[in-house]
Amino acid sequence: MPKAPKTRSPSKTVALTYLNTVLPTYAPGATGSKSNRILEPDWVDIQKALDVLGRSDATDASSSHPAPIMPPEPKIEHCVRCHREYDINSHGREARCQIPHVFGEDGQLWGPDIRRYEPECCDDGGYVLEEDAGNGDYKLKGNAKRPCITHKHTTDPEKVEYNDCNVVECSPGPDGKCELEWLKMKDMFDTPAFTCNVYC
Ligand SMILES: [Zn+2]
Ligand SMILES: [Zn+2]
Ligand SMILES: [Zn+2]
Ligand SMILES: [Zn+2]
Domain interval for residue 130 = 95-194
Ion ligand 2: residues, Cβ under 5 Å: 101, 119, 121-122, 125, 148
Residues 55 and 108 in one domain: no
pLDDT of residue 26: 74
Ligand nearest to the CA of 173: 4
CA 75, 79, 85, 89 torsion-angle sign: negative
Instruction: For residue 149, report the distance from its CA to the centre of ligand 3, in Å.
Output: 7
Is residue 76, in this structure, part of any structural domain at all?
no
Count of domains in the chain?
A: 2
The interface predicted TM-score of the complex, written ipTM, equals 0.79
* Rounded distance from Cα 192 to ligand 1 centre (Å): 19
Q: Is there a single domain that holds both residue 100 and residue 170? A: yes
Question: How far, in Å, from the CA of 132 to the mean position of ligand 2?
Answer: 25
* pLDDT tens, N- to C-terminus, the chain (200 residues): 555 555 556 677 777 877 877 777 777 666 666 666 677 777 778 878 888 787 665 455 445 566 667 767 889 999 999 999 999 988 888 899 999 999 999 889 998 889 999 999 999 999 999 998 778 889 999 999 999 999 999 999 999 999 999 999 999 999 999 999 999 998 998 899 998 778 86
Separation of CA 123 and ligand 2 centre (Å) = 7
Whole-number Å distance between alpha carbons of 16 and 118: 49
170-180 pLDDT, tens per residue? 999 999 999 99
pLDDT of residue 126: 97
- Ligand 1 centre from 51 Cα, in Å? 33
Partners of residue 77 on adjacent β-strands = 86
Instruction: Using the mean position of ligand 4's atoms as its centre, give its distance from the Cα of residue 99 in Å.
Output: 13
CB atoms within 10 A of CB 41: 13
Give the per-residue pLDDT at 64: 59
Same domain, 185 and 100: yes
Look at residue 88 and tell me if it is in a domain.
Answer: no
| pLDDT score at 19 | 80
* 178 in the same domain as 112: yes
